[in-house]
Amino acid sequence: MNLSSICSSLPTTKSKQKAELIQKEEIFMTTKGYFGQFGGSFVPEPIQALLDELEVTFEKYKDDPEFLAEFRHYLKDYSGRETPLYFAESLTDHLGGAKIYLKREDLNHLGSHKLNNVLGQILLAKRMGKKRVIAETGAGQHGVATAAAAAKFGMACDVYMGAEDVERQRLNVFRMEMMGATVHAVETGTRTLKDAVDAAFGAWMNDLEAFYVLGSAVGPHPYPTIVHEFQKVISEESRRQILEKEGRLPDYVIACVGGGSNAIGAFSLYVADEEVKLVGVEAAGHGLDTDKHAATMTKGSIGIVDGMKTYAVFKEDGELAPVYSISAGLDYPGVGPEHAYFKDSGRVEYVAATDEEAVQALLLLSKTEGIIPAIESSHAIAEAVKRAPKLSKDEIIIINVSGRGDKDVAAIADYLEAKK
């Protein structure tokens, strides 16, 4: 049983409850579990009972001084935060326009932003007395972070990963296994992230005593809110750092978007600053005019996917369409409901970058700054490469470098070899 089959019999829309838009910290929700019309919880009753328990636990601890002190301790001493906001002077000079700063989430322990959220969720799991965790992963970064935290806190760990992604990301698979996790290669569907999510939810249905560590800002309530809460540290830091370095806020913050966790974290503290333009970059794959892309916002429509109402890429028969990206972390057919809300409200501009643009951006940053970014993050860099030369030298761009590219080196080498 997977989440898609569970939800297939449910309606594709849910009546929008009227409520005055309230701002709760940086999270915009019109009703419980909703961002505007997006979000909700479309799951079977056994899962809903667990989600309700999780929500109660989260609400109890998210502002609890003891919990926050422990969370911040592990962010600092285990993960290595805070991460630098680095002025990419050579890249800025090369492009000849706006000043470019890099938020260096690639310098987090294990190489990406994923550990921020995992540490928060694992600490919740510990307080709930859980002994086993389940996770899905695309590029493997969330799986690696979950495996590490499970090892640290003495929990059993099962990670579900599309078989295609297992082949693309052998290094991360071995890293997970080294830390004691069991990695399950999912052979169904397109054998990528969407299928891993389905399999992980199915495994959770079979062991309701386990804790599901969801890696992106997607899924049924309260997961999008939880992931936002634990990832907002990215913009908490970058906002303070840019004020210290430049004495003002940036003109643009750019982040890649798959499910949307790094972008939610990168955007969070700037949402209320209307002068700061927020740009999310999806995977255009072989091009938006082909069927080989994962551009949910650009090409998708509204429906139910993975227990939430959001934008997703559907076929004519209403089934989810297969999606593609060179990036295993971006080839997801849906997107987090808060991003869907930001699209409809106009607060965030969503664009797309092709495989080729992302690869060239990866190579450019590597050659100008000696920083090898993840291929996911390279989609955001590609958009900055397009924009920066058109902007004045007084303008400022922050790019969220969500991860490092060690995991991608072999795949990029194969891509470049195939082009010869």
Residue 7 within any structural domain of the chain? no
pLDDT of residue 139: 86
The question of whether 325 is a catalytic residue gets the answer: no
Cα distance between the two ends of the chain: 44
pLDDT of residue 30: 55
The question of whether 114 is a catalytic residue gets the answer: yes
Whether residue 248 is found in the same domain as residue 375:
yes
Whether residue 193 is found in the same domain as residue 268:
no
Range 161-173 average pLDDT: 92
Which whole-number Å values give the CA distances from 45 to 12, 230, 404, in the listed order?
18, 26, 39
What percent of the chain clears pLDDT 70, i.e. is strictly above it?
93
* Tokens coding 288: 């938006």
CATH of the domain at 176: 3.40.50.1100
- Phi/psi for 403 (5° steps) reads -165, 165
Give pLDDT tens digits for 324-335: 999 989 999 999
Whether residue 61 is found in the same domain as residue 184:
yes
Which whole-number Å values give the CA distances from 65 to 58, 82, 229, in the listed order?
13, 19, 15
From the candidates 136, 357, 369, 376, give the one annotated as an active-site residue.
136
Whether residue 208 is found in the same domain as residue 250:
no
> Please, what is the angle between helix 65-77 and helix 114-127, to 10°?
140
Q: Rounded to an integer, what distance in angstroms lies between the CA atom of residue 54 and that of residue 222?
A: 8
Q: Which of 173, 197, 228 is the last residue of a domain?
A: 228
CA neighbours closer than 13 Å in the CB half-sphere of residue 160: 26
The question of whether 16 is a catalytic residue gets the answer: no
Residue 11 within any structural domain of the chain? no
Overall size of the chain counted in residues: 420
Whether residue 118 is found in the same domain as residue 184:
yes
Q: How many domains does the chain have?
A: 2
pLDDT at position 58 over 50: yes
pLDDT of residue 28: 52
State the chain's mean pLDDT as an integer: 92
Residue 50 within any structural domain of the chain? yes
The confidence band for 216, taking pLDDT boundaries of 50, 70 and 90, is very high
pLDDT at position 18 over 50: no
SS3 content of the chain, % helix, strand, coil (to 5): 45, 20, 35
Q: Rounded to an integer, what distance in angstroms lies between the CA atom of residue 118 and that of residue 135?
A: 10
Residue 28 within any structural domain of the chain? no
Return the higher-pLDDT residue of 171 and 344.
344
Nearest to 168 by CA among 419, 415, 420, 336: 415
Whether residue 224 is found in the same domain as residue 235:
no
Query: Which range among 142-146, 369-373, 407-411 shows the weakest confidence by mean pLDDT?
Result: 407-411
Boundaries of domain holding 169? 37-71+114-228
pLDDT of residue 3: 55
Whether residue 387 is found in the same domain as residue 241:
yes
Whether residue 273 is found in the same domain as residue 305:
yes
Whether residue 332 is found in the same domain as residue 198:
no
Whether residue 108 is found in the same domain as residue 143:
no
Q: Which of 202, 228, 254 is the last residue of a domain?
A: 228
pLDDT at position 349 over 70: yes
Q: What is the DSSP letter of 403?
A: B
Nearest to 87 by CA among 393, 298, 329, 341: 393
pLDDT at position 159 over 80: yes
Range 400-411 average pLDDT: 95
pLDDT of residue 113: 98
pLDDT of residue 32: 80
Nearest to 401 by CA among 140, 165, 100: 100
pLDDT at position 103 over 90: yes
Whether residue 321 is found in the same domain as residue 184:
no
Q: Which of 228, 261, 277 is the last residue of a domain?
A: 228
From the candidates 99, 103, 114, 343, give the one annotated as an active-site residue.
114
Give pLDDT tens digits for 370-379: 999 999 999 9
Whether residue 276 is found in the same domain as residue 406:
yes
Residue 55 within any structural domain of the chain? yes
350 CB-near residues (< 8 Å, 6+ apart): 257, 279, 280, 281, 282, 297, 298, 339, 343
pLDDT of residue 240: 98
From the candidates 41, 112, 327, 402, give the one annotated as an active-site residue.
402
The confidence band for 190, taking pLDDT boundaries of 50, 70 and 90, is confident
Q: Rounded to an integer, what distance in angstroms lies between the CA atom of residue 46 and that of residue 249?
A: 45
